[in-house]
């Protein structure tokens, strides 16, 4: 007899949130910009754990997340990255993070003018680095907060 049949669902969910979820979300700000195949693997690990908690093989991934009261891994990474960028903008984080990106010195109220866009010579270490994608993340989170971006757009952007 398996132990999952003896343990109540709420206890299994607590164990999942305490023992498995921290491994999936460890350094997830770095995983924001990794390959889509790697993020799918993390998503599958979370889905498999939730299926074991609820003993449900027929529900979709989003239904399992709603039942557990958890956001998707992509949304959680976006939330944490926007919190980090807020702290960087207002100098609430350590010195080395505040110097990681530079604030835009313009006093004009322009779109996407929170941070200065760095110049780069290579695509791999320039365009796809965290430093250069801060403007994109700030724009996406602002639009998502206003309700101008649908979940379908976020899912498509996650693939790229």
Secondary structure of 37-60 as H, E, C letters = HHHHHHHHHHHHHHHHHHCCCCCC
Is it the case that residue 1 has pLDDT exceeding 50? no
Q: Are the beta carbons of 93 and 84 closer than 8 angstroms?
A: yes
Residue found under tokens 């990474």: 77
- Better pLDDT: 11 or 89: 11
- Average pLDDT, integer, range 59-87: 89
pLDDT of residue 87: 85
Pick from 26-30, 60-64, 66-70: least confident:
26-30
Amino acid 146: pLDDT: 59
Query: Could you tell me which residue, 20 or 142, shows the higher pLDDT?
Result: 20
Res 115 pLDDT > 90: no
- Give the torsion through C-alpha atoms of 91, 92, 97, 100, to 10 deg: -30
Query: Structure pTM?
Result: 0.67
Is pLDDT above 90 for 140?
Answer: no
Cβ atoms of residues 128 and 32 within 8 Å: no
Closest by Cα among 143, 15, 26, 20 to 82: 143
pLDDT score recorded for residue 84: 82
Most distant pair of Cα atoms in the chain: their distance: 67
Indicate if the pLDDT at residue 46 is higher than 90: yes
Q: Can you give the residue ranges of every domain in the chain?
A: 3-70, 75-159
Q: Phi/psi at 115 (nearest 5 deg)? A: -125, 150
> What's the confidence (pLDDT) of residue 93?
82
């Amino acid at each position: 007899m398996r132990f999952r049949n003896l343990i109540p669902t709420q206890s299994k969910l607590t164990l999942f949130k305490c023992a498995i979820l921290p491994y999936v979300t460890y350094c997830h700000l770095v995983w924001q910009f990794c390959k889509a195949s790697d993020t799918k693997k993390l998503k599958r690990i979370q889905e498999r754990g939730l299926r074991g908690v609820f003993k449900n093989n027929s529900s979709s991934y989003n239904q399992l997340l709603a039942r557990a009261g958890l956001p998707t891994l992509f949304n959680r990474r976006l939330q944490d990255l926007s919190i980090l960028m807020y702290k960087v903008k207002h100098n609430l984080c350590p010195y080395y993070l505040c110097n990681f990106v530079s604030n835009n010195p313009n006093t004009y109220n322009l779109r996407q003018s929170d941070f200065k866009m760095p110049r780069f010579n290579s695509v791999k270490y320039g365009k796809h680095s965290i430093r250069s994608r801060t403007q994109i993340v700030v724009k996406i989170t602002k639009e998502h907060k206003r309700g101008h971006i649908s979940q379908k757009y976020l899912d498509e952007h996650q693939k790229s």
